[in-house]
Amino acid sequence: MRHLRKVKQLRRVAGQRKALLKSLAVSLIEYGRIKTTVPKAKALQPFIEKVITKSKEKSLNNVRILNGSFPKKTVKRLFESWGPVFADRKGGYTRIIKIGQRISDASPMAFIELVEKPLEIEVGKKAKNVAKKPVKKEKKEEIEEEQKTDKKSSKEKK
């Protein structure tokens, strides 16, 4: 019997379940929205909410706890872009949107997404913003030229 067991098992042993939740959490932190099955989304929701709650306050203890569970790039993104966004919010950082059934096996699918958009963070030399804003034509042309030169320089390096 399952008395007093709150964790959904997802037909996996504990180690596989933890790895699945961590990988889903990393994807959600990176992209802000992922497509998965409804049971996985429901299992991920309390897990990611606890992680975001820890990222709201940048203390040494919270950094060490999250560094033990996630890659450094993900932890940096949590503390620099997602933590400040959710600083004033007391909970409810994610939403689940059901989108119907998967064609192959008819399992119920859903999007799980973070409610807010992230702040800009610097990745390498350039600032990268996940939340796309409308760009004026002049700036769009400049950005396209920069991207072309970046592609040419990367090909030359190879």
Task: Say yes or no to pLDDT of 147 above 90.
Answer: no
Provide the whole-model pTM: 0.74
pLDDT band at 107 (very low <50, low <70, confident <90, very high): very high
* Main-chain dihedrals φ then ψ at residue 131, nearest 5 degrees: -80, 110
- The whole-number pLDDT of residue 144 equals 74
pLDDT band at 94 (very low <50, low <70, confident <90, very high): very high
What's the sign of the alpha-carbon dihedral 25, 27, 33, 34? negative
pLDDT band at 158 (very low <50, low <70, confident <90, very high): low
- The whole-number pLDDT of residue 142 equals 74
Mean pLDDT of 86-111: 96
Which residues are within 8 A (CB) of 5 and not within 5 positions of it... i.e. 6 or more apart?
Answer: none
The helix/strand count (H/E) of the chain reads as 6, 5
Q: What is the pLDDT of residues 11-21, one digit of tens each?
A: 999 999 999 99
